[in-house]
Amino acid sequence: MSAPIPVPAPTWPTEFAERYRAAGYWRGETFGGMLRERAGAHPDRIAIVDGDRRWSYADLDERADRLAAGLLARGIGKGDRVVVQLPNVAEFFAVVFALFRIGALPVFALPAHRETEIAYFCAFTEAVAYVIPDVSEGFDHRALASRVRADLPALKHVLVVGDPGEHTALADIERDPVQLTDPPGPGELAFLQLSGGSTGVPKLIPRTHDDYIYSLRGSNEICAVDADSVYLCALPAAHNFPLSSPGTLGALYAGARVVLCPRPTPDVAFALIEREGVTITGVVPPLALAWTEAAERGGFDLSSLRVLLVGGAKFSEEAARRVTPTIGCALQQVFGMAEGLVNYTRLDDPNELIVTSQGRPISPDDEIRIVDDADTELPEGATGHLLTRGPYTIRGYWNAPEHNARSFTEDGFYRTGDVVRRLPSGHLVVEGRAKDQINRGGEKVAAEEVENHILAHPSVHDAAVVAVPDAYLGERTCAYVILRTGAAPLKPVAIRRFVRERGLAGYKVPDHVEFVETFPYTGVGKVSKKDLRAAIVAGLAGAAGSAGAAPGDSPGVVDTPGVVDSTGFVGSTGPADSAEPDGTAH
Ligand code: AMP
Ligand code: DBH
């Protein structure tokens, strides 16, 4: 077992930590302890439903113990990083609770991540293990693991749920439970969550037991989750929204039941809602649209559902108004971030506030500042940059001092990159975004990350990735590309295929590619994304009839409501996530 590592990230100054403890936010609980308590209090209650499998709290507790013993026996221990990339299967919870118990840190990869991202997470965190399914959605994770492992001597273990191939079956490492000698304390790190980010590589978010559990308790109270609740995990379980708002971990904290949904299409999700008596779930806006349309068609009994949370990207007022009349449950908007701050509309808020705002913070001690470009606080009600600090918002990314200097103020406020305005009630309205990110129906794409991959193409001189408005996803990505002088002309599909073959998650492959001669530049010579976006909007206005299409793209391939790709959040993408149609569509 490796020695405990220091926390390589800034943490809360003592005076804040003391305040948060004194206020009763941080109660000294850990995830390992929480599961043990629930299993002791009601061993036979069902904790996890995955298809035909039903694990009680006692089952989950025992599996976590057996896996914890197995991990320790393999030399994995406190402070070690373990990249976990699992779809919505029960083993996800056995693995993460085993890691929580021994103080090893899950690094939460998404099922959609591919070789480039996985290799980066493993290398950057010096991960000792990588946990995967055998094949998921037609993709063989074992082959990816073999390739990644070849270059990473620190990555000693690949643990597979299912047929292990050349690796180790997760089921084979289980051992009889052992007494833990050095379980993690409540103030220690529990896991590393991923940021959507706006930089060249994703950033890692260090969350502690105490701070995260506080956000769960707060979320449960706000969303009325109690032991009788049934939470449907419709989004990828590793994402912060379905994990914690109030999510699967909130539900388990409450002693409630988690139902795992293998894909969020209305037919699959609605059948589970009906069969399992689901009371609460959370989705991104494009799914909420698909669900409202499907609910109007009828055919399922959704009467058990009390609350639908919608967040991850801006939910339009028009769409928000349709939720309760069609699905028959309450709507809660949620505006959150893996870095911390989570805002909810309250169940007893007036309807107008629920449909027009993105909610207010969980905690009375969530500090909100709305500032101009010079960090000067704006008058109440003005629109500006959202900065925040509080009892479950990180003070810095993991092992990223340079990012931290940019992403946090000197007094510890996180620069969210969101542009908001605050209503007299304290509710926030998200008006836009200042960070260089595309929010593709809740899936975040850092422009710089994709640009760097496009720039690696030998024919490319420069690239700029921006958002284009889209009726279904809210935004899609458009890559503007300048070819090198003398380079042979390329088709858009060549760039898309190039990015895909570099091993990036499908949702990061540009939806559109546009070749141009030059970019609009700002006064200081930076590419003006603002002008690029304006050019797109102008192009859209001219391209009447091809809803959502960027100039130059063939209409019809972009507007694909109803297409849902379970490896991603949503509705991915038609072309971006299917096999490249070899130039026929683009
Ligand atoms: P991440 O940092 O990857 O966890 O993504 C969090 C970001 O998602 C926020 O900073 C917002 O930009 C965006 N976001 C989340 N929920 C909402 C929402 N309800 N409305 C608008 N944007 C949202
Ligand atoms: O988008 C997000 O990251 C998000 C949305 C809603 C989130 O992290 C959350 C709730 O906790």
Cα of 51 vs centre of ligand 1, distance in Å, is 30
- Per-residue model confidence as pLDDT tens digits over 53-102: 999 999 999 999 999 999 999 999 999 999 999 999 999 999 999 999 99
Cα of 331 vs centre of ligand 1, distance in Å, is 18
Query: Which amino acid would we find at residue 151?
Result: D
In this model, does residue 549 exceed pLDDT 90?
no
In this model, does residue 3 exceed pLDDT 60?
no
pLDDT mean over 109-115: 97
Inter-residue contact 335 to 310 (CB < 8 Å): no
Residue 255 lies in a domain: no
Give whole-number Cα distances, 68 to 71, 82, 175, 179, in Å.
5, 13, 8, 10
Cα of 239 vs centre of ligand 2, distance in Å, is 8
Q: Domain containing 541: what range?
A: 441-564
Q: What is the DSSP string of 251-293?
A: HHHHT-EEEE-S---HHHHHHHHHHHT--EEEE-HHHHHHHHH
Ligand 2 nearest-atom number relative to CA 243:
11
Give whole-number Cα distances, 559 to 149, 373, 473, 481, 541, in Å.
38, 35, 9, 23, 16
In this model, does residue 362 exceed pLDDT 80?
yes
In this model, does residue 320 exceed pLDDT 80?
yes
Q: Output the residue whose Cα is nearest ligand 1's atom 7.
A: 337
Q: Output the residue whose Cα is nearest ligand 2's atom 8.
A: 337
| Percent residues over pLDDT 90 in the chain | 85
Token pair of 158 as six digits:
């690949």
Cα distance between residue 397 and residue 286, in whole Å: 29
Tell me what pLDDT residue 556 has.
28
Instruction: Give 259's pLDDT tier (boundaries 50, 70, 90).
Output: very high
Inter-residue contact 110 to 139 (CB < 8 Å): no
| Mutation test residue for ligand 1: of 430, 436, 449, the one with most atoms within 8 Å of CB | 430
Ligand 2 nearest-atom number relative to CA 337:
8
Tell me what pLDDT residue 540 has.
60
Domain stops at, among 184, 210, 231: 184
Burial 275-312 (b: 16+ CB within 10 A, else e): ebebbbbbbbbbbbbbbbebbeeeebebeebbbbbbbb
| Mutation test residue for ligand 1: of 418, 475, 508, 570, the one with most atoms within 8 Å of CB | 418
Question: Is the model more confident about 248 or about 564?
Answer: 248
Ligand 2 nearest-atom number relative to CA 247:
11
Lowest average pLDDT, out of 286-290, 518-522, 538-542, goes to: 538-542
Residue 478 lies in a domain: yes
Give whole-number Cα distances, 224 to 20, 228, 330, 558, in Å.
23, 10, 12, 38
Burial 454-472 (b: 16+ CB within 10 A, else e): beebeebebbbbbbbebeb
**Residue 513 CB-density burial (10 A; 0-12 exposed, 13-18 middle, 19+ buried):** buried
- Per-residue model confidence as pLDDT tens digits over 432-483: 999 999 999 999 999 999 999 999 999 999 999 999 999 999 999 999 999 9
Residue 534 lies in a domain: yes
Q: What is the DSSP string of 55-94?
A: EEHHHHHHHHHHHHHHHHHTT--TT-EEEE---S-THHHH
| Mutation test residue for ligand 2: of 243, 245, 344, the one with most atoms within 8 Å of CB | 245
Residue 445 lies in a domain: yes
Nearest CA to 420 out of 433, 408, 431, 406 is that of 431
* CATH for 460: 3.30.300.30
Site residues for ligand 2, CB cut-off 6 Å: 240-241, 244-245, 311-312, 334, 336-338, 342
Maximum Cα–Cα distance for the chain, whole Å? 72
pLDDT mean over 543-555: 37
Cα of 207 vs centre of ligand 2, distance in Å, is 14
- Per-residue model confidence as pLDDT tens digits over 388-434: 999 999 999 999 999 999 999 999 999 999 999 999 999 999 999 99
Cα of 562 vs centre of ligand 1, distance in Å, is 22
Site residues for ligand 1, CB cut-off 6 Å: 195-196, 240, 311-314, 333-339, 358, 416, 418, 430, 433, 439, 444
Tell me what pLDDT residue 537 has.
67
Cα distance between residue 98 and residue 105, in whole Å: 10
Ligand sitting nearest the alpha carbon of 202: 1
Cα of 49 vs centre of ligand 1, distance in Å, is 28
| Mutation test residue for ligand 1: of 201, 337, 362, 435, the one with most atoms within 8 Å of CB | 337
Ligand sitting nearest the alpha carbon of 341: 2
Inter-residue contact 104 to 79 (CB < 8 Å): yes
pLDDT mean over 2-27: 85
Helix axes 266-276 and 285-297, enclosed angle (nearest 10): 70
pTM higher than 0.85:
yes
Q: Output the residue whose Cα is nearest ligand 2's atom 11.
A: 241
In this model, does residue 346 exceed pLDDT 80?
yes
Residue 324 lies in a domain: no
* CATH for 59: 3.40.50.980
Residue 359 lies in a domain: no
Cα of 393 vs centre of ligand 2, distance in Å, is 13
Tell me what pLDDT residue 525 has.
81
Residue 129 lies in a domain: yes
| Mutation test residue for ligand 2: of 193, 315, 342, 435, the one with most atoms within 8 Å of CB | 342
Cα of 1 vs centre of ligand 1, distance in Å, is 37
Tell me what pLDDT residue 545 has.
34
Burial 542-556 (b: 16+ CB within 10 A, else e): ebeebebbbbebeee
Residue 157 lies in a domain: yes
Token pair of 461 as six digits:
């001189």
pLDDT mean over 222-250: 98
Cα of 429 vs centre of ligand 1, distance in Å, is 12
Instruction: Give 530's pLDDT tier (boundaries 50, 70, 90).
Output: confident
Nearest CA to 341 out of 437, 237, 199, 218 is that of 218
Tell me what pLDDT residue 569 has.
66
- Per-residue model confidence as pLDDT tens digits over 151-190: 999 999 999 999 999 999 999 999 999 999 999 999 999 9
Cα of 78 vs centre of ligand 2, distance in Å, is 28
Cα of 384 vs centre of ligand 1, distance in Å, is 16
Domain stops at, among 135, 167, 184: 184
Q: What is the DSSP string of 400-433?
A: -HHHHHHHB-TTS-EEEEEEEEE-TTS-EEEEEE
Q: How many domains does the chain divide into? A: 2
In this model, does residue 576 exceed pLDDT 80?
no
Instruction: Provide the 10 A C-beta neighbour count for residue 53.
Output: 12
Which long-range contacts (C-beta less than 8 Å, at least 24 apart) are formed by 33-37? 34/213, 34/252, 34/253, 35/60, 35/61, 35/64, 35/97, 35/100, 35/252, 36/61
Ligand sitting nearest the alpha carbon of 314: 1
Token pair of 307 as six digits:
């609350």
Cα of 285 vs centre of ligand 2, distance in Å, is 12
Cα distance between residue 143 and residue 90, in whole Å: 23
In this model, does residue 555 exceed pLDDT 50?
no
Question: Is the model more confident about 554 or about 485?
Answer: 485
Ligand 1 nearest-atom number relative to CA 435:
12
